[in-house]
Structures are given as C-alpha cells and as structure tokens.
Structure 1
Amino acid sequence: VIIRENEEDLYGGIEHRQTREVTQVLKLISYPGTDSIVRYAFEYARAYGRRKVTCMTKDNIMKITDGLFHRVFNEVAREFPDIQAEHQIIDIGAARLAAAPETLDVIVTPNLYGDILSDVAAQLTGSVGLAGSSNIGREAAMFEAIHGSAPDIAGKGIANPSGLLQAAVHMLVHVGLGDTATLINNAWLRTLEDGVHTADIYREGLSRKRAGTDAFADAVIERLGREPERLRPARFQHASIVIPGAPKLAGRKELCGVDVFLDWNEGEREPARLGRQVEGLVPPPWKLQMITNRGVKVYPEGLPETFRTDHWRCRFVAEDGGAVDYGLVLDLLQRLHRGGLEVIQTENLYTFDGERGYSPGQGE
C-alpha cells in the first residue's frame, strides 16, 4: 500500500521562468500536511493488520524539506510501538520495490515520489491499468484509477477497466460496504485467474482469452458470487480512520540574512567580476558571504570549470553574524537596483530557536 501526501511537494504548481536560461519550481513540505499523512499511514497499518510502515524521502540531499518529512515520521512512529517503522532513501527504496516488493508493506512518502512509486508498483503486477487509488480528505473522498486518460486509445474499446473497478472497490470499502467490495473484487480476481485478459496483460501461452473493455467487464459480472481458486480471496471490512489536526508550532524566529537572486549575463560571466560589483554596492552591516550559480559556490574561491548560467544567488549576512531588521533588506535591494543589477527573487534567511532554517551552498 502506497500512501502519499497529495497536495504539497512539487505539485503546488508554483513555477516561474526567472531568466532566459533558468526556470524554477517551489517544493513545499508543511508540518501539518506531513503529520496528517504520516499519522494516516500508521493508523491505516494498525486498522488493517499491517505490520510495517516504510518512509521514503531524499533527505540526504534535500535536508530541510524532505528532512522535515523524515523527522515528523520518526516523531509519529514513536506513538505506534506495535508497528515497525523504517526509512529508506527514495532511490534505493524504489530499487527495493522493483526487486523485492514482498519486503515492503505500507509506504508513506511525499507527493512526487508516491506518484512515481504507485505506477511502478502497479506495473510490477502486470500493468498500470490494474490499480485503483483513493484520495482521502477530512471532508470528502474521491476515487480513481492510478493511470491517466490514455487519449491514444480513447474510443477503441481496448482499455483495461480494472483500475476504475479497483477504485470503485476502494470507494465501497470507504463508505462501509465491505461485503459488496469483497463480492466485486473476488469476481475480478476469478476473471484474471480464468485467463480473461485485456490487451495490456494478455500473454500467449498464459492467457486464454483476449478481451476488450466491455467484454472484460461482462466477464467480471458473470463471475459475481465466485471466488478465485489459486489467488487469495479478498475479505474487506471498513475501518474508520480519524486523523486529528496537527498542533500549531511556536518558537523564536529571527531574520539573519537574505539570498538575492540576480539575472546577470555580462561578459564571460566571470564570478569574480560580479562579486566585485556586488561588494562595491553592499552597505554595512551586510557582508556578501558567497555567490552561487545553480546552487554551486562560485565566489569567493570557486572552481573555474564550474558551468555557469545567467542565474546567480548572492547570500548576504550581517557582518557580526547576528539578527537584522527587514528594513535593512529593503535598503540593500534598493542599492543593488540603483547599481544596475536586476533582482529577480529574494529569500529571507531565518533561524528558528537558534537553528538555521536554510541550506548551505554546495561547496560552502
């Protein structure tokens, strides 16, 4: 079972083209969103007799965003001592899913990773057309096949209806009609077991009949009331899972610097030239700590072979390393503008209860 957060991460749809050469997308991971989905995963495991929940992130690289997801997972896991909890980096976790899916039980992960893993898991069973999905909210729920609309085969009568059928089974379980869900799912399993297969899963020597969309659905209907003989029959029952809202986080937040992003395309894009220009414009109490290009530190003491675009980040901090007033940020931006530099974005740098809330530059 793959449980993914379905509103945040890179799917917020916040994208910008910032320079002629560079675009960006904003990755959002929230504490309440993460707490809700992780708590749901553990409650689901407990309600349906699952023994293990595996969290998959990429927090060895994205230490703040995916790091938050991993940290909340660890916090919630301590409340469920009866459920085994483990974490894996997403790339090796995906490899494990492909090579040994039987070693996994419930997976909880941010939005993008879960979207990819769910298709991989479905394909391991034979086709992405076999799996359904549930979108569960506090006020409403929606159920759908995991795959897209497949416009290339629309109207041809060859699509596998199993994904939508499985989505309907999910819906019936959700609304408390587990017996009906069991009846339909077992008829579907018996149909597959009898070798009635749509084109996406049809195999010579294994399948007995190639069926179109309608014929496959009719075959399932004909088998209502029958159970599979070799596959494990389904036994569904509804379990009510109620997830409380996450508490609001409090604490001390202090502004300690600012990242200023520039569109700069002068000469051969020499970092030292830009660095000298910026330093000539910086007023006290600011200090130019570094300049990066595509996240890699290029000034001071950058590597000359680093590939550079027209998109630059200048990190400014107070000379004494302390907190600053936002009015000083506005003054800095005005000076950069008057100095002929094009500011395209800013990100304030904060500490939270004394802990840095931003990542270092690569090579810093």
Structure 2
Amino acid sequence: MQEHDENLPENSEENQEQFIPETNEATPKETTNPSEFESRIDLKPLQESVEQIKKQIAKFIVGQNEMIELLIISILTNGHSLIEGVPGVAKTITAKLLAKTLDVDFNRIQFTPDLMPSDILGTSIFNVKTNDFEYKKGPIFSNIVLIDEINRAPAKTQAALFEVMAERQITMDGMRYDMSPPFLVFATQNPIEQEGTYRLPEAQLDRFLFKIDVDYPSLEDEIQILIDNHKRLDVMDFDTITSVLSAEAIQKYQNLIKQIIVEDNLLNYIASIIHNTRNNANLYLGASPRASIAILNAAKANAAINGRDFVTPDDIKRCTKAVLKHRLVLTPEREMEAFTVDKVVDQILETIEIPR
C-alpha cells in the first residue's frame, strides 16, 4: 500500500505533464474554427430583408406572426403554401401584402365551381391575321399567384395545377412554357364550409410545402386591430407598402439557403420522423420522400432567418408540423375518436430521440 501511495503522485504528475501540452495544442484550433465558421455564409442581409418585410406587413396586420414567418420561409425555399382558416382572419390580405413587399408580378385567381382549366392556364385562339393558332397565357403566368378558396373548384380544374406547381412549367398543344422564377402559389381555403367545395386530391396537397392553420387573434391583438382600423378610417392603402426584395434578390437568397450546413445525424433524424409516419398505427397514409426534403429545406430557411448557418433539431421540430399536417391521413378509427394529425406528429417527435 505504501509503494502504491508513493507511485500515485508520480503518476498523476506525469499525467498532468502529458495533458497540459495537449490542451495547449487544442486551444488555437478552438479559437480559429469559430471565425472560419462564421465567415462561410453572410446572413445579415437576408435577416435585414426579412425584418423589413415583417415591418411592412405590420402596417396593416396585427399578430399572425406564425403565418407570416412560414410564408417567408416558403419564399426562401421556393415552396408553395396552403393557408387554412375561417373567414376574416386576414389570410388573403396577408398573402397580398407579402406579395406587395416583393418587386415581382402578382396575380390573384378566385376559384369557383364553374372555373375551367383554360381560365387558369390560358387557351389557344385562332389569329385571323397570321392564319394560325396563338397561345394566350392565363393568370397562372406570374411570379406570385394567390388562389383564393382553392377548394371551390372541381377536380378537373384542380388537375390543371399539378404540372405547374410541381415542375413550374405548362404543356399546352405539345409546347412547353416555363414559368419565370420565382414562381410561388399561395392558396387559401375555408375549413368550415363544406357545401360547394371539393376536397383537394392528395397528389395536389403533397405539392404544397406548408399547410398553415390561421387561428383567431388574441384579445390584445383584436383590441389593437380595432384601434388601427379606427385610426386609418377603415381604409387600407396598399400603396404605402414598399418593395423589399427583387426577383434577383429572392433567387440569390434561395441559393444561399441551400448552403446552410446540416449534419448527418440531423438528416437521420428527419428520415426517422418520416419513416415513423409510414409505420404508425394511427395513420392510414404516411409521408413521402417529398416531405422529408420539405422538412430539410424549411429547417435550413428557419436557421437562416435566425442568423445561423447550421441547422439544429429545433429548426426541424419547428417546421415538421406545418410540413406534415396536410400529408398524413388518419385511420378511420382515429378519425371517429376525434384524434388529430397534430397529436400524431407531437407523439412522433416525443418518441424519436433528439440528436445531440
């Protein structure tokens, strides 16, 4: 025991002597890496642009921060968004204001039961002067397209959107017409009224990056809405909205988002979430690989607008529900029990271990 006690301090001193140089060598690496990491992507211009967009929209819209942020993320990821809420919660106005902050073309299409595909895509008209048919482009040819009450058009008209939303092109009379970038569809629908509406096909729902649920404002927000409305004499002058981003700037930021860093364990985390939806006893239909790509891209954009050039698990969790809620279908038994897709997604996120 005495020999062991004598050796113990000697060994500890040797260990200390060996350990000190290792820490000294590691210190410069730890101090240099952050500076190299921060210089890889400059996100300040993007953050400033996002804040300017929010300020412009705040001139007329009180609250609804979740909807506004998700719509901005959809722009940065070049994804379409479906906005669902009862009438009067500023779905259409918010989409119009957001389009107004962008220096791009904007069209609004009101969907009705008698709307035909040619009313959206355009049609070929015989030109007497040239003695030939001439293609007249429809209102879908724009950069931002707001489709109001998208679920009021029949399946034939809904199908007209399949190609243009997925591939950003239209095929008419054997000719292909590409959409000018950026091309984004914001669609609204009312979840309450069922009469005179048509359920959107799953194939079309899958083409939307997000489904954004818009709820009633809080009491404080509603009071502020009344105050603002009274001050401006019930007049909304959209000409006071200034453009923040051009089409070129949007494309630049979209390319910047693609450079956001994602570690392999986070890619596995996203894949595990999607795989769980396909083997979940509560679900009749799970999510496709398009959903996993959507979560990845949305998480990148969420990280960027928060000033980070790397994705965290919180970025993934924040975007997952909006990406999945319109892609998952409950089993009939769960629907009868008034279960919701949101609850299923919450359970999945609680079940899967968060990467460290």
Q: TM-score range by the shorter chain?
A: under 0.3
Indicate the structure with greater strand content. Answer: 1
Greater relative contact order: 1 or 2 (C-alpha under 8 angstroms, separation 6 or more)?
2
**TM-score (normalised: structure 1):** 0.20
Indicate the structure with greater helix content. Answer: 2
